Chains A and B, each alone.
Chain A
Amino acid sequence: MPVWTWTGLKAGKAATRWPQRGPDGQDGVLGMPRWGPAACRTGCDACVAACPTGAIQVNAGKAEVDYGRCIVCQRCVEDCPEGAMTSSYDWAFGVRRREDLLWKEALDSRVGQDLGKRVARSLRRSLHIRHVDAGSCNGCESEIGALDNPFYNLHRLGIFFTPSPRFADLLMVTGPVTAPMHGPLLATWEAMPEPRMVLATGTCAVSGAPMDGGYAGGSGLNALLPVDVWLPGCPPNPAALIHALLLLLERMPQRVQGGRYGAG
């Protein structure tokens, strides 16, 4: 027997069965910081000053957190004197509506439960993805590439990457959309047959942060394409990517509503 076949057989299966059961492979990986406004002291803006991307702002004396701009750098956690910002393992942050990444004091329960438009029936069995790098740092590509490694083995979920936009159901965009990538990205979208969906992958694609505002970077997919799922994270880990894909197919629930983890 050829040596590689033998070693492959001997190694056995490496794939996790997550999310049914088994490990997700993200032990110890830090996610978005949690905000406990009850612990906040009025007038302190240590977290606002610490945040390099403007994800935390103070408006009319009240802090607001936009997880769509969070790059998971944990500086607000380090600098908060009261422990109102705490580090967490909350990484499954994909949401259907961009507003769900904004921390809201009071949740509108009716809107909060609405998961947005239903997925077309034709897309629910298998999914083909066209990935476009619109100026990322390659961190997202590294994690998207990891989905095909034997541990995550994305094919087991009926999800595949395709080189042709004509065969693609989903456009997966990374990066803040740089000026030269604007045209090619829209051309790819145009080439896709309907029904077509869009996944804004990583904080850059969600809001442009921290690459927005310069002469070369755009502000992500905001107002550029109709986005079906927003997935911040810098970069989102492979389990977060799988969660977002299954959320898109309505095979997993949304975990975040009103910027708060644990909903759904």
Chain B
Amino acid sequence: MSAATTYNDCALRPLRAADLPAVAQDCVTAGMRFQMAWHDWVEGQCVVRYLISQGNRVPFLLLEIRGEETLPSLAAIVPLLGWYEREMQDLGGLTFTDHPEPFPLVIHEGFSLPRPPLGRAGAEGRLSGEYMPPTMPEVQGDQVQDLYWGPIRADVVETGEFHYSYIGEAILHYHPRLFFKHRGLEARFVGQQADAAVFLAERVSGVGSVCHALTYCQAVEAAWGIEVPPRAQLLRVILAELERLYNHFHYFGLLAKTTTLKVGSATGFLLEERVKQVAGQLTGSRFLRSLLTVGGLRRDLPAEHLASALENIIDEGEAYLTRLQQTASHLDRLMGTGILSKEAAFDQGATGPVARASGLDRDLRRDHPYAAYHHLRFAVPVRAKGDAMARSEVRAESLREAIALLVQASGHLQAGPVRAPFAVPNGEQEGLGWTESPRGSLYYSVRIRDGRLKRVKIKSPSFSNWRVFPLTVHGTNMMDYAINEASFGLTIAGCDR
């Protein structure tokens, strides 16, 4: 077995833990960007891997360290790895020396476990979550107010707790405490049959059902060498872009709500509803679930006339976006709000529309094409300012591109099979899958032995963007907070897993 081709076409580079900081520094100096890090236990031996993007259309680089459970922390060199390392500490029982924030991340005080859930088999030692002070520096003074908001907040929203220290309107420090919704999904995959576990991937993040399922399927297909038929590839693009469409309409509805534009908010949510209804009619599921499977799709879809079914939504959507872009009161709240610099976006791992609004020109659909994207033409919008305005502009153009892609892909459809036959191979295989979800890059890494999953790692876009988000809150004001949060388009379920 050639190690270099284990994971798709990744270039594999085995390392010793001691050499890690120097190699990481070289990668950063060369302009490469770390994507994710995860651990695994292969025959009792700890394996830690770092996935690195070397550039557009160049295979990913994979750093691999075998047999060492204590590694130097790279958080000082590659800040975005801070959370991955803390997660490996919590769930895998690994140690990262000299970590600048050596606190539990995923494990809350409600947890009490006999051992780390993704730790070494047969290891001893209880794991009890306790709340350790996060990165909030101590701020004191008569005028300083502390607000602990959550985990149950107002309205119908996801669970999370936010700590603010502020004076009047000015926010001095802000810290989101997440992972209340941690359901242990990576552990839940273990032992499942790899060709049947798509249902779990669909339930990692409800509004990202398609992209999670697609990423998972592509990881298994890469591991097993399955070629998906062209019709299924195009239909996969259609499902993914429909998901982008309803997510983006929701985004604008929510953004308009935070700028108190009532009709604008209602219009966005109505357009979202209508896309979901089209999705229900087309697939039987408003979230486009129960369709994707390893090897293609579970059944064919009559998507040829999608463009005419979407006609009214396309017209009204265009008028809606134009009207938003002409509304001074709305734009006034977005301009200059929550600025994220290009450097911070790169260092902390911002992804998707958030990264593109800060000048990082990255899109996995274009840079590492999957499904049928290399047959389709689309533009990747980029802005430089990094404020809420830039983020909403990037989303608006991305929404228009999604519509163009839907029309294009449904026009290219030709009759043919939608599912490739395959036999589940024996022995051990590994694979990597990725998609550009509505919120950014999504990765699944799978290791399968005799058809059953041994390890699944999920990296969702919100895991990255929640890490970045606080940087845009410090030094801003309470009045802009909700607008800023809405402009990021975050979900918590995908982050917490």
Contacts and interface: CB of A to CB of B under 8 A. Distances in A.
A138 B156 contact: no
Interface stretch (A61-69, A214-222, A245-253): A214-222
Contacts of B2: none
Interface stretch (A93-101, A114-122, A175-183): A175-183
Given A3-B323, A183-B110, A210-B199, A142 B266 contact: no
Given A133-B158, A146-B269, A4 B206 contact: no
B203 interface: yes
Contact of A136 (B155, B184, B493): B493
Interface stretch (A27-35, A39-47, A102-110, A223-231): A27-35
Contact of A141 (B158, B179, B204): B158
Given A149-B270, A178-B181, A163 B154 contact: yes
Given A176-B183, A178-B181, A184-B151, A7 B276 contact: no
A215 B117 contact: yes
B207 A25 contact: no
B152 A132 contact: yes
Contacts of A74: 284, 290
Contacts of A141: 156-158, 206
B109 interface: yes
Nearest to B112: A179
B323 A211 contact: no
A175 B152 CA distance: 13
Contacts of B108: 179-180
A23 to B, nearest CB: 9
A161 B156 contact: yes
Given A137-B203, A137-B205, A151-B273, A28 B281 contact: yes
Contacts of B11: none
Interface string B400-417: 000000000000000000
A29 B280 contact: yes
A25 B182 contact: no
Interface string A164-184: 000000000001101111111
A71 interface: yes
A161 B156 CA distance: 8
Nearest to A140: B206
Contacts of A144: 156
Contact of B491 (A3, A25, A78, A138): A138
Given A142-B206, A163-B154, A136 B181 contact: yes
A146 B154 CA distance: 16
A111 interface: no
Given A4-B263, A141-B158, A141-B206, A214 B280 contact: no
Interface residues of A, number: 63
Contact of B270 (A73, A138, A151): A151
B435 interface: no
Contact count band on B:
35 or more
B261 A138 contact: no
B277 A25 contact: yes
Contact of A8 (B206, B263, B298, B327): B263
B282 interface: yes
Contacts of B155: 131, 161, 163
Contact of A180 (B151, B323, B493): B151
A176 B203 CA distance: 12
A72 B157 CA distance: 24
B18 to A, nearest CB: 33
A208 B323 CA distance: 44
Given A4-B327, A141-B157, A215-B113, A178 B281 contact: no
Nearest to A165: B152
A128 to B, nearest CB: 13
Nearest to B291: A74
Contacts of B151: 180-181, 184
B285 interface: yes
A190 interface: no
B489 interface: no
B66 interface: no
Nearest to B462: A138
Nearest to B184: A216
Contacts of B205: 137-138
Interface string B278-319: 001111111101100000001000000000000000000001
Contacts of B207: 138-139, 142
Contact of B280 (A27, A134, A179): A27
Contacts of B157: 133, 141
A216 B261 CA distance: 40
Nearest to A188: B152
Contacts of A217: 183-184
B200 interface: yes
B180 interface: yes
Given A7-B323, A28-B280, A136 B180 contact: no
Contacts of A215: 111, 113, 117, 184, 187
B272 A149 contact: yes
Contact of A133 (B181, B187, B269, B282): B181
B15 interface: no
A30 B269 contact: no
Contact of A3 (B110, B326, B493): B326
B429 to A, nearest CB: 22
Contacts of B239: none
Interface of A: 3-5, 7-8, 11, 14, 25-30, 52, 71-75, 78, 87, 131-146, 148-152, 161, 163, 175-176, 178-184, 188, 210-211, 214-217, 234-235, 237
17 contacts: A25-B273, A27-B281, A71-B199, A72-B290, A131-B156, A133-B158, A137-B493, A140-B206, A141-B156, A141-B157, A142-B287, A151-B274, A163-B155, A181-B159, A184-B180, A234-B203, A235-B287
Interface of B: 108-111, 113, 117, 129, 151-159, 179-184, 187-188, 196-197, 199-200, 203-207, 209, 250, 253, 261-264, 266-267, 269-270, 272-274, 276-277, 280-287, 289-290, 298, 319, 323, 326-327, 491-494
Given A145-B156, A146-B272, 6 more contacts: A87-B284, A131-B156, A139-B203, A215-B184, A215-B187, A235-B206
- Which 3 pairs show the lowest CB-CB distances between chains A and B? A139-B206, A163-B154, A179-B110
